[in-house]
A = this chain, B = another copy of it.
Amino acid sequence: MQLQLSTWPEIEAYLAKSKAILIPIGSTEQHGPNGLLGTDALCPEIIARRAGDESGILVAPTFNVGQAQHHMSFPGTITLRPSTMIASMVDWAQSLVRHGFERLYWFNGHGGNIATINAAFSEIYHGVTFDKSRAERSNHAPLRCCLRNWWELPGVGDLTHQLFPVGEGSHATPSEVSITQFGYPEAVKSVAMTPRIAPNGPILDADDYRRRFPDGRIGSDPSQANIAAGEKIVAAAVKAVISEFRQFSAS
């Protein structure tokens, strides 16, 4: 069930039986020679929408631009300042809480978002804490935020390791490229890359990043990506996210 493809009476009906919503959150940033700029937003979106179709989980629109400052030396990357991202997430959360949602499951596709997402959670809880304090009300519905990266879902790591024992790397990985190839077969790119496995190293500012990682990849060989692998990863992730979301909803 996608919020953007639902009507408000349908959401009203959903809220009568569940207070939980899944929000795909990603980034728009370079993903090497054959990875899509939308990879980090598309991966959680692809998984989440299938999970929503299968199980009735309510899926919000995708928070599609995140924290990508370190990729800014590659054309096409779009980034929010962390302070802007926090303000936006606070607004999304406040809106959902206003309607009665109490469990916000942020389903993330970008490692670089993790810090800012967690900072935003503290800012969201801060508002709740001080609001409650002021009004001395005890009956305020408890709000919980949960962050889950798709690659950390139970079973997914084992699968990607098995599919790509060498060259998974940490940015522009064959796994994430495979997912987008499965989701968007019309956008599969065939690009030669040298070296086959990209170098590793620390992530600092944007200029340094491009010096260390000239084609954008970190430690990965995404030329291994393929649609069949993407299909398997998505299937595993869909199953896992449905299970975990249900537990979170009931918490």
Chain A interfacial positions (CB closer than 8 Å to B): 2-12, 15, 28, 30-38, 41-42, 60-62, 64-65, 67, 69-70, 72, 74-84, 86-88, 90-92, 94-96, 98-100, 112, 114-120, 122-123, 125-126, 128-135, 142-144, 184, 186-187, 189, 191, 204-208, 216
Contacts and interface: CB of A to CB of B under 8 A. Distances in A.
List the 7 closest pairs (A to B, CB-CB), nearest first: A4-B38, A115-B118, A11-B76, A8-B30, A82-B119, A5-B187, A125-B205
Contact of A7 (B191, B204, B208): B191
Given A69-B129, A129-B69, A99 B76 contact: yes
Contacts of A83: 83, 86-87, 123
Contacts of A61: 28, 38, 41, 64-65, 78
In the complex this chain forms, how many copies of it are found? 6
Given A82-B86, A119-B116, A5 B69 contact: no
A12 B33 CA distance: 12
A2 B99 CA distance: 33
A4 B37 contact: yes
Q: Counting chain B CB atoms within 10 Å of each CB, which of A64, A129, A186 scores highest?
A: A129
B184 A5 contact: yes
Contacts of A72: 95, 98, 129
A88 B98 contact: no
A93 B69 CA distance: 14
Contacts of A60: 28, 78
Contact of A80 (B67, B77, B88): B88
